[in-house]
Chains A and B, each alone.
Chain A
Amino acid sequence: MSDERNVKIICKWTVPVAVNLYKIRDAKGEAGDFFRAVQKQRQQYQGFWIVSPEGKLIAAQGNFKNEKTWPQEVLDILEAALKEEVAKAPRHYDWKPANPFHGHGVQEDGSVNVAVFVRFVFGGKPSGPGAFDSVTLSAKEWGKFAPTQRETAERATGRDETFKVGQKWDLPDDIAKRLCKCLSPKSDKTNVPRPEELTEVEMHGVVQAIDGDIATLAYHGKLAAVHQHPFDKKPKTSRSQAKFSGFAKLNLKTNEMLTLNLAFDGTYHAFPPYHEREYTTFAGVEWTRDKESRVSVKSSR
């Protein structure tokens, strides 16, 4: 789907819709009925369907031959299915991010959506598309990334003087477990361990430096998981683990987090029969308060 030629056709000559299979197949009303009628015409688990405005199937793809030929396979389907459409004038559309908070900003309820990416690593370099994901942390969970959580009224009064360089704290396991998505480099959700499948969880924080009103908070930790395949009733597990470190910048005057960056170095064993090979993985967790600016790290000690 990330092939430029495919993106161009989808944008210019179709109305692109993305939905969650598990929600839409059970949805009541027009949308659910429409999807079920489409699905009846071509049964496939995930993938894409190209349909007329009335819901008549034009083309679909649920499986691909291999990852290398996948973009070309999609292009072949698009070109064949939309031959007449592409002859027409392209549509006009306004682009806006589907999730404007992905890796940026604080939502009205105080929650944040930290961006996550996970890659396979070969010879020290990332390989393949990997996984692109995010984790939404509630305001309360987000507050635990700093060593103290002051009362809201107190926050407005000025700089928190309780911060000291060297001050340490442990993040609750429940919060560290939310980062379980960092353990699987595969994009398919069936490969992602659930929080309750974590066998090892640790996340420690320390106030590493204070420079004016900006504190640098450092983090260390590790996660490990044994994940049962969700659609296999027999025991069929994948294993993964990662150690991570990273930092956040906190404005002590406003008590606002400015940035969070975590780097995970891990290993991954796929489901049987591919479980014996150990793959090296890397995952990143990133968030900035402002979309455009990455807080300068040069002032860090």
Chain B
Amino acid sequence: MKRAAFSFFCFALNALFLNAIFLNASLWAGEQAKVNPESITARLDAMRQSGALIKWQEVPWILDLKDGIRQSREEKRPLFLWVSGDDPLERC
């Protein structure tokens, strides 16, 4: 009885081990499997910032301060000077 139980235990352990190998292999294969363009675009659509989060793009930014100063003087309007540590309107 003990021997039968031990055999079953070994069998179960082997099955578990083999399963784990196949599962890993299929996961890796899955990673390299065909890309589904529809699901990629659906994910991008779901995750991309909405228009409300990038409203600052609607501002008619001038990227040359010299032009901005000139325009500000011509129009007699204050300058709104946005300064960031990257090229303007790049990483935001």
Partners in one complex: yes
Task: Assess whether A52 is in contact with B85, with CB atoms less than 8 Å apart.
Answer: no
Contact residues in B for A246 (Cβ distance below 8 Å): 35, 40
* Contact code string A1-40 (vs B, CB < 8 Å = 1, else 0): 1111001001101111111111110010111001100100
CA distance A263 to B47 in the complex (A): 10
Task: Assess whether A286 is in contact with B58, with CB atoms less than 8 Å apart.
Answer: no
Tell me the A32-90 residues at the B interface (CB within 8 Å): 34-35, 38, 45-53, 55, 58, 81-82, 85
Q: Which bracket fits the contact residues of B?
A: 35 or more
A275 in the interface (beta carbon within 8 A): no
CA distance A22 to B87 in the complex (A): 9
A216 in the interface (beta carbon within 8 A): yes
Contact residues in A for B75 (Cβ distance below 8 Å): 15, 91
A98 in the interface (beta carbon within 8 A): yes
Contact of B62 among A16, A29, A49, A189 (CB under 8 A): A16
B82 in the interface (beta carbon within 8 A): yes
Asked if A208 meets B34 with Cβ closer than 8 Å, knowing A18-B63, A20-B88, A50-B78, the reply is yes
CA distance A126 to B81 in the complex (A): 30
Contact residues in B for A24 (Cβ distance below 8 Å): 65, 83
A284 in the interface (beta carbon within 8 A): yes
Report B6 CB to chain A, min CB distance, Å. 42
CA distance A283 to B86 in the complex (A): 20
Tell me the B62-89 residues at the A interface (CB within 8 Å): 62-69, 71-73, 75-89
Chain A interface residues toward B at CB < 8 A: 1-4, 7, 10-11, 13-24, 27, 29-31, 34-35, 38, 45-53, 55, 58, 81-82, 85, 91, 93-99, 117, 119, 121, 126, 129-134, 181, 187-190, 192, 204, 208, 216, 218-220, 243, 245-247, 261-263, 282, 284, 286, 294, 297-298, 300
Chain B interface residues toward A at CB < 8 A: 31-32, 34-38, 40-41, 43-44, 46-49, 52-69, 71-73, 75-92
